[in-house]
Structure 1
Amino acid sequence: MLLLPVFFSVVYLKADPENLNITSKTVSADKIDFVENDWNAAVKKASAQKKYIFVDCYATWCGPCKMLKIQTFSNKKVADFFNDKFVNVSIDMEKGQGPKLAELWKIQAYPTLIIFDENAKPVLGTMGFMKADELMRFAQEALAKK
């Protein structure tokens, strides 16, 4: 029986905390930066920034909702545009304030995407999965109504 020596090496990397991206507050992102499950915070932020509000109404069990997050909301062109032009909020319509908002907004299917003006008045809505170019057209149509 032949025993070979085994060598292990440990590499230590020195991390510079000032250069780590540990928050979602970035100038350019790889995904849409959403306010999570807080409609009131989104409205307050939109009013202060004079921006429209983009709402992603979803349910955790919804397949097309998951596809939106993975494919469309993580598209760099979409993310840059939405992070610049909108206050974005993602709301689980089956938890917290979601059920009341679902009733108020008459949500019938998931995902439902709604754009509101800075005063929380609905401008445009749609249902179902959208590819990146379709979502961009939807957003531009809403902004054209400004």
Structure 2
Amino acid sequence: MGCKLPDADKIKTDLNFELGDYNLSMEKAKRDNKHIMLHFYANWCPPCKRMRKVTFANKSLVEKLNKDFINIKMNVDTQDGRMQAARFGINGFPVVILMDASEQVLYKHVGFLEASVLIQEIDKIL
């Protein structure tokens, strides 16, 4: 039996996630002309916890995301998170969406995602 991970929100990461609501974060991305990394998760979701602990702990990935992206995390157990998940047609977790500043989806992945795969997708976009 494996060890139980804490809620996804309680797992530390050096990735700079925007606090506040989706619309304010999108305004910042447009103002700063940055790409967006949108991460949908739930605190109770084991693959979500693993992404936070493993994928978002990868130093190379964190550096790329912090430099070139506005990183938004959306907890699907909140009203804003549910609303945005419905907007993007999300029904499984975790989800990573990479978008440009005009909110055009450039990449979408449902399920656990290795850092190396996400880095490759980011490199294609940048």
TM-score, scaled to structure 1: 0.73
State the structure with more CA Rg: 1
- The residue number in structure 2 matching 1:79 is 62
- The residue number in structure 2 matching 1:97 is 80
Q: Is the 8 A contact 1:37 1:97 kept in 2?
A: no
In structure 1, the gaps of 5 or more residues are: 1-29
- The residue number in structure 2 matching 1:42 is 25
Match of 1:66 among 20, 38, 49: 49
How far apart are the structure 2 equivalents of 1:113 and 1:71?
Answer: 14
- CA offsets, 1:33-84, max 9 Å, x none? 1114521121011101101100010011111111111111111111111101
Percent of aligned positions that are identical = 27
The alpha-carbon distance between structure 1 residues 37 and 113, as it changes in their structure 2 partners (threshold 3 A), is farther
Q: Which has the higher helix share?
A: 2
How far apart are the structure 2 equivalents of 1:36 and 1:67?
Answer: 21
- The residue number in structure 1 matching 2:37 is 54
In structure 2, the gaps of 5 or more residues are: 1-12
Match of 2:92 among 109, 126, 133: 109
Flag as ranges the 4+ runs of structure 1 deviating above 4 A.
Answer: none
Q: CA RMSD in A?
A: 1.4
- The residue number in structure 1 matching 2:9 is none
Corresponding pairs, count: 114
- CA offsets, 1:62-113, max 9 Å, x none? 1111111111111111111110110000110120311111111100210011
Match of 1:130 among 100, 105, 113: 113
